[in-house]
Structure 1
Amino acid sequence: MIRSARLFAALSVSTLALASCANAESGETAPPAAASAMPFAVTEVATFEEPWAIAFAPGTATLFVTEKAGTLKFIDTASGQIGTVSGVPTVDYGGQGGLGDVAFLPAEASDSLGNRTIYLSWAEAGEADTRGAVVGKGTLVCSAATTCAIEGLSVIWRQTPKVTGRGHYSHRLAVSPDGKYLFVASGERQKMQPAQDTSVTLGKIVRLNLDGTPAAGNPMADKGGVTAEIWSYGHRNILGMDWDAQGRLWEVEHGPAGGDELNLVKPAANYGWPIRSNGEHYNGDPIPDHTADDGFAQPATSWNPVIAPGDMLIYTGDMFAAWKGHALMAGLASQAIVDVAIEGEAAREVTRHEFDARLRSIAQGPDGALWVAQDGKGAKLLKLTAR
C-alpha cells in the first residue's frame, strides 16, 4: 500500500565522519552549508533491495529499477503494481559492483511498454580476479502488466582493461539529446593513474554509436582502438550525468578526501585526476588544487567536505518552477537532495533538502514529480510532489 508522509521542516543536520577510501563511493563527510524546509510532500511508494538506478521508459509512467545484486524490476507508478524483468545478465556482485544503470531511447517513446531498445550496465568478472564494467543492448518485450523480458541482450562495450578490485565502475549511461549517441561514464577503478592514460578507457567518458562502436568525430578517433571511444578524460568516479536545455553534458563525480566535482563535459577535455583535485589523498597526502593556469578543465563547482553524490539530473519539469534548469543530486553520506544552480559554465549550490537516509538515485516523472530511491537493503522508493 502506498503511504504518505508530509515533512514540514528540514531534518536536523548531523556531522558525518570521514570514511576510508574503501567507502569512497558510499560517501564521505558531508555536513551541508545550508538546509531548507522541504517544498514538497513525500510519498513512500515501494521498497527495493539495494536499488542502484531508476529510469522511466519514455512515454510511460513505468519506472524501471535496477537492484545491485542482479535484478531488474519495474513499477507502474499510477497503480503501484510491481513486475520483474527476465533475461537480465549475471553480474559480478560485491563492493561497488553489480547491476548498474538502465537507459532507453527517447525516440522510441510510446505508451506501449514493450518492444523497445533497452541498455544496461553491470560489473563483469574477468580472469585472475579482475573485473570491469560492461554495457549491454537488448529488446524489452512485455507480455503482461507484470511480466517483461529482455531478448537478444548482448555486450556492446567493455571497460578496458579489466583490473582487480571492486570499486569505481561508474557505468552511468546517457543518450544524447539527438538520440544518436550513447555516453558511458567509465570510472578509474581506484587505480588513479589510468585516468590520464588515453590508451585505456578507465577514468574516461566515452561516446559511442548506439551499437557500441566508437562514434565518428570523437577527439582521438584517428588513433583507433579503444582510444577512439574517448570523449573526455581525467575523471575519478562519475555517478551522475545529464543534459541541460542547451544540449550540454554535465557530470558529477566523487573526489577523494574532499573535492567532489560538478563538471561541464567538453570533448578532449582533461579534468585532472589524479594530478589535480580540490581534495587530498585518504592518508592525508596533498594533491595540488585546480588552478586557472594548470592546463586542466576546471570544475564548475566542487565540495570540500564532499556531498558524496549517488546520481544527478537536470530538472526540466514545471511542478517545481524554482528548480527548472538546476542540477539536483541525490546524496549518499550527505543524505540530501543537493540543489545546484547552473550559471553559464559555472555553478553554485543553492540549498540542501535533508532526509534521514542515504539517497542513491533520482529521476523525473512525466508530470514533473521527482522520484528518489534510497540506498541499501530495504530501500524506499519516494515520490516528491509540490505542496
Structure 2
Amino acid sequence: KDNFYAISECCDSNSLNVVVGPYIHSIICILGLVGNSLVIFTYALYKRTKSMTDVYLLNVAIADLLFVLALPFIVYNELYSWPMGQVACKLLRGSYSVNLYSGMLMLACISTDRYIAIVQARRSFGLRSKSSSHIVCFLIWIFALLVSVPTFHFHHWYEPSHNNITWFNSNEQEETTDPQYVCEWKFDDINTASIVKVAVPSTQLAIGFFLPLFIMIFCYTSVIITLQKAKNYKRRKAVRVVMVVVLVFIVCHLPYNLALFYKTVNLFKQSDCDEEDSLRTAMSVLQMVAYLHCCLNPLLYAFIGVNFRNHFRRIFQNLCGLGQRYIAPRRITSDICMTTVHHSVDGSAENCSSLIM
C-alpha cells in the first residue's frame, strides 16, 4: 500500500538501460555540458545579453546545463541502489522536472520573440525590451517550480517493501538480499497514487510539449510566410533555419511524448510482462532521443547565429593571444584587434586592451 507502483518481479526487464543506457547518457551529458557551458561562458564574458533573444538563449542554456548535470544521478538511480539520502533524492528529481519545463517554455519564448520581431516588426520596439524578458524568464522559472511541486513532494528515499528485486553492477547481474534503497514515487494511499500518476505525465505532455509545440508551429509558420514575401538570399536561408529548428524539435520530442501519452492512457489496464517490457524498452530509447535535444539547442539557437559565432571566435583568439603573449605580444595585439574589427557586430572597433587576458 505504501508503494503502490512497486517494482514487479515478473516485469523487471531493464537490459537495454544496463547495456546501452550508460554509454548513450554519458555522451549526452558530455555534449550537453560542453555545448551549454560554452554558450553561458560566451554570454558571460563577451556577448552579454543585449536583447530578449539573448536573455532567452542564456536561460535555455542554464536550464539544459542543470538538466544534464542531474541526468547522471537519475540514470544511476534507475540502475543501482540510491546512496545519497532523502534530501538529494527530492532535490535531484525536482530540479530535473523544473529544468525540463523551463527549458521547453524558454524555447516557446524564443519563437514568440522571433514572431514579434519579424511578423510584427512595426510594433516590436515596444514589445521587445530586455527588462520584460527578465520578467518573463523569472515567471517561467517560478511556474516550472510550481508545476514540479508534486515531483518534489512525492519522491522519497526508501527501501521497497517487496523482497525480490534484482540490481545490477558493472560486472554481472546478481540478486541480493541486502537493504537496497530507491528514489521513486511513494504514496500513502492508492487514490493519491492514481491521481498523481495521471496528473504528472499529463501536465508534462500539455505544458512541457504540446504548448511549446503549438506556439512554435504558429509563430514559425507566420515567420516563414513573412520571409517568403521577401526575395532575398538571407531571408531564404532564414526560412531553412526555422524549418530545421521545428523539425529537430518534433523529431526529438514527439515520439517520446506519444509513448508517454500511450502509457498514461493505459496506466490502469492490465497487460502481460512482454507488452510492459516492450513499452519500457521503447520509452527508454525514445527518451534518449528526447534528451539529445539539450545537446542540439546550442547549435540550433546560439552557434547558428553569425553574431554569436563571432563572439565565440574571440574566445579562441584571446586564448591564442594568451598563449603567445610572451612570444610576440605587439603582433598578437594587432592581429586580434584587426580581426575583432572585421567581425564586430556593429562594425565598430573594440578596445584592444580588453582582448589581452
- TM value normalised by structure 2: 0.28
Give the number of the structure whose residues are more often helix, by fraction: 2
TM-score by length of 1: 0.27
Q: Higher relative contact order by CA 8 Å / sep ≥ 6: 1 or 2?
A: 2
The structure that is strand-richer by fraction is 1
